[in-house]
Every structure is written in C-alpha cells, then in structure tokens.
Chain A
Amino acid sequence: MPFLHERLPNGLDVIAETSESAVSTSVGFFVMTGSRDESDALWGTSHFLEHMVFKGTPEIPGDAINRRFDDMGASVNAFTSEEDTVYYASVLPEQQHEAVDLVARMMRPALRDEDFETEKLVILEEIRMYDDQPPFGADELCRAAFFGGHPLGRSVLGTADSIRGLPVAAMRDYHRRRYAPGTMVLAASGAVDFPALVESAKRLCGAWEPVTAPERLVSVSPRAAARPGRERIVRPAAALDYAVWMVAGPDEHDPDRHAARLLSVVLGDSSGSRLYWGLVDSGEAEQAACIHQDFLDAGVFITQLSCDAADVDELTERIAGIYATAASGGIPPAEFERAQNKLASRVVLGGEKPRRRLFEVGLDWSHCRTYRSVGDNLRIVEQITLDDVHRVLKTWPLDAPAAAVVAGPGSGS
C-alpha cells in the first residue's frame, strides 16, 4: 500500500495510503483542535463547530450539503475528541472528486446566526441524551477529577450552560484561528487518485490563508490523579451502578504506550481477560473493562465497572486485587502471547477497511507527522516483549490512588 504526501505552499498536508484492491475511497479532514484547546468561555465550541460545519457554506445551504452527499451515495460523518476534529466521507472511487470538493468547501462554513441558534437546540438535546444514559456522566466527572486544571479535564460536549452562553462571534473567531492550513491534514485511503486529490486540494484549499495557530496547551504529563478519591452521582432510577476510575499511563510519545495497550488487553479486554474471568463470566458484573488511552502529553488507564449497586465496593476491591496480583506476579508468557495474537489479528482485520485506515493514517500524521503501514503496526505489536509489559506495570502502577466516580441509585457507599 503506497503512501503519498504533498504539502501545499500554505502548509496544508495532503496524504494518502492507496490500495489497488479497495473498492471504495475514504477522504477526510483532520483538524488539530478539540476540547483541550478551549477556554472556559469556549467550552464545547469544537464539537458545536463540527455540527455547524454541516450547516453549509456561504454558497451552499446545509440541506444542499446533505443532499449532495446522498447523491454520491456517501457514508459521511464527523467526530470531535479532546484533541481532534475529524470529517470523513467514504464513497465509490468515481465519486472522489465530488466528495473532496464538498468536504473541502465545508471547511469554510458560513456559521449563520439562525443556523447557530437552531443547532444549539440539537447540541442541548445531545447533552441530555448522554446525561440520560450510562454511565450518567461518571466518565466525564472522572476525567475532570483526574486531570483537574489540565486542559484534558474538559468534556467534549461542554455543559448546557456553556453551550447556551456561547456567542456565534466566539465560534467564528475560534474557527478562524483553529481551522488553518498548517493545523489541518487532508487524508485519503483506499482506491485513491492521488494526483487528482492534490489538484483538488490546490484548487479548493490553496487560497486558505496561513494563520499562526495558537500553541496547543501542552502540559507536563500528570503522574497522579489531581483529585484522588471517589465521587458519586446519584440517579435514583438507575438499575445498576456505573463506576469509572483513572490512573496515569504512558502518553502518545512514550514507546511504552504499545505495551500499555497490550497490558490492557491482558487485564481488561471485553473477553478472555482477567477482569472478564474474574467478574463478567460469573455474572457478577455487567461490564468490567480496562483500557489505555493516550494523548499528546498524558496517558490514562481507565477502568469501567457496571454492576449491582450492592456489589460495587466488593467488586472494586476485587479489581484492585487483580491489578495487585498482576503487579506482584507478572504476566505468564502464554497469557502475554494470547493478548499479542489478539492485537495482531485486530491490526490485520482492521487494515482491510479503508475507513479504519483513514483514521489511523490521518491521526498518525496529524499528531506525529508519521506514516505507519499495516505491516509497521503489525511489527510494533510483534516486537512488544513481556519485559516491556512488566516495565509498564512497574512504572505506571494500576493500584495508584485513582480518581473515581460512581453513578447509580445511591445504595453503595
């Protein structure tokens, strides 16, 4: 799968991983902005702006954007995280030109007053929707408790108050500063006509003015929870308790992040892991999982537990015991190899889907200006050693004092 790259004079990077056998083309813009780039006054702006991008440009009304994507038969969407805003469309190869044309034009949205007020109502509904469903805000409160004043402590959606209070002028200014060619990547994967992609980029994005983007608020990696201890969200009608806790782990520049991921598979994968056999297989927990998440300047191990409220203390203790056993006794080679095989299989199977590759290739380039093929990713997994995993266990203790939140009916302590 050849990788191709060209940088426009204004700084916009155009990249593609091409595949002769693919029957589809995926294209996307990766914008280096997310909730960590917001101030209190702008809380929720990145995600709200992602919605507004679909409401049209000065020339194209929002409903025409939706119609044009459907005319192409495109599968189109977007997401916003703490660090990225990503817009993507998957189309048949003959629609590449049209898809790139539309997505590129959308990056310069109209941000009309009346659309802003209507879409505000949709965002408020999205906030209510998540607030009504598990884990009932426990994940976001836990993030705030772990990161404290660090920019990653901010939730992506914002709050009902921050969204209601946001003026459209602030969003326009945010867009001007953050959607600059030097902080965006146009990426494509699958059956890509790269010369045509570059041509489209020059025509549509070549006149975008370079803006000196504000520095990202990068801090020192937190090695400990800012607010250790357990907080509670009471939802009297909830059937289960939902517990989330976080401790520090390697960040995205730390070579040990790969071993951290493998460790999370050993300990807390959705099947066949120590938490699975210890809590889920027995039917004591609805879910018990451990995942590793990495950011530019921080990493976390997140443990998620859902169970009967009466059992949450006992099962939390049991998970602590499982982590302590791993730290003291290590991981047997057979268990390590099984997790390694699972990860390798995920790399190969995921590598078959152009959409999935678009995200991997686009985010790698956006964050690190690095390209890694499926083969590279497979080698990374194969080169993880048991020593690496044991070093992660020692360097980033999972039984460190955590920031924890339990949401549920309130019968637990």
Chain B
Amino acid sequence: MKKFKEQLSGRVFFALALSSISALALITVFIIANGAPLIADVGVVKFIFGMEWAPSRGEFGIFPMVIGSVTVTLGAAVIGVPIGVCCSVFLAEFAPKAMSTIFRPAIQLLAGIPSVVYGFWGLIFVVPAVRNLFGGPGLSILTGSIILGVMILPTVISISEVSILALPRQYKEGALALGMTHWQTIYAVMIPAAKSGIVAAVILGIGRAIGETMAVIMVLGNAVSVPESILDPVRTLTTNIGIEMGYASGEHQQALFATGIVLFVAIMILNSFAQYITRRK
C-alpha cells in the first residue's frame, strides 16, 4: 500500500510538471501551424525583409517592425544596462547593509508593476517630456527606450548582483592583498570574473525588452515606417500583433502568427545564448 502511494505521488507530480511543458508545446504547435504556411507562401526572406506591410493588398513585409523592435530594444539596452550594472556593483560592493536591504526589495518591486502602468506613466509623463525637450511628436523610439530601459532594470540588476556576490571571497582578498584599491579590484578582477553572469543578465533583459508589448504600444506612435531618427514613431513586432489581432482574419491573421514565430525564435535564441554563457565555466 505504502509503495503504491509513493508511486502514485510521483506520477501525480510528473503529470502536473508535464502540463506546464505541454502548454509550451501547444502554444508552439499552434503558432507554427497558423503562421508557417504564410511564411512559406511569401518566402522567409521576403517576409522578414519586405518593406511593405499592407494586409488589405496582401503585402506582408515586416521589416519596418523588425527595425522598430531592434532600435527600441537597443535603446533600452543603452539606457538600462549601464544603470543596471552600476547599480548591481553598488549594491554588491559599496552599499551599507541598511541601504541594500531597502534598495533590493525596492528594485524587485519595479518588476511587479504591471506593464500597462508603465505604458500609462510613459504616455502621461515621458511622452510630453520628450516632446518638450527634444521636439518631434513625443511618441518615439526614445520614449519607448526609456520606458523599456527602466523595465529591464530589475532583471539586469538582480542577476548581475547575484553573479558578483557569488564570486569566491578569495578573489577580492587576493586582489586587495596585492595592493589594489577597492575600485581596481572591482573593475580588474570582480567584474571580469562575474562577466558571464552579467552578460547573461543583459541578454535576459534584452529578451524581456523585445517581448514587451503593452508598455510600448502606448508610447511608440505605432507608425509602420522606417524611422529616420530616434524621435520618430515606430511599430515593433509585438505591438503590431497587439494592435491588429483584434480585427485580423484569414491571411492577415496568419501573417500576425508568422510575426509571432519570428519573435519566438528571436527570444529563444537570446535565452539559449544566455543559458550557454552562464553554464560555460
């Protein structure tokens, strides 16, 4: 009887674990089944690098959106990564204990703010600020980058900080015992030693930025065109799906699923790259 119970509990947990994996499998199959035929129809190159997005005329080129996603994500990285890495070094190395016990949960709280609130805050606060300071419509790559830059901070900070704190104490003592200053120890020994963790943090942050939809839909302006400056509005791959899914049908809907495939693959590549880097020793 007891043995039966043991076996049964094992099976139950296995079944539940399987259900989370099967959700992934179902979504993958569904997206691919819906999107792949259109990509095959249009051709991979023409779909990804096509300049014309006009679903009513049967033109499905997502390149303006690819540019949108790439520029906004890079912008987010340019803004969020230096702040995040410096913040994690500060928390791990400089902050007095009392301060880091306040800072750490506060940063985690940033991750808990719903993305629609970020978007709303961006629309009310950042958009006018960008418009007044730099000109242009305010709905722009820069605005989206600022918001995403803030949104990726918790990811970048917590993973980099963990990787710095995980370093053996001997690195720091060994370096200090060589007569290095605290700062020399940090930039010459600790940051290089924690490099793989920091790079993984950055990649995961970028993955988060690429996938973000709700926050940027409200502040990017969503124009399907190739931007000429960072003050121009753009549309990203995610916002394209978010905006058009409501009314799309037929080939148009398939094209949105196909856009999903592109996103899916991009994020999978980023995440596996991050995993590869953290595991490599």
Chain A complexes with chain B? no
Binding site for B on A (CB under 8 A): none
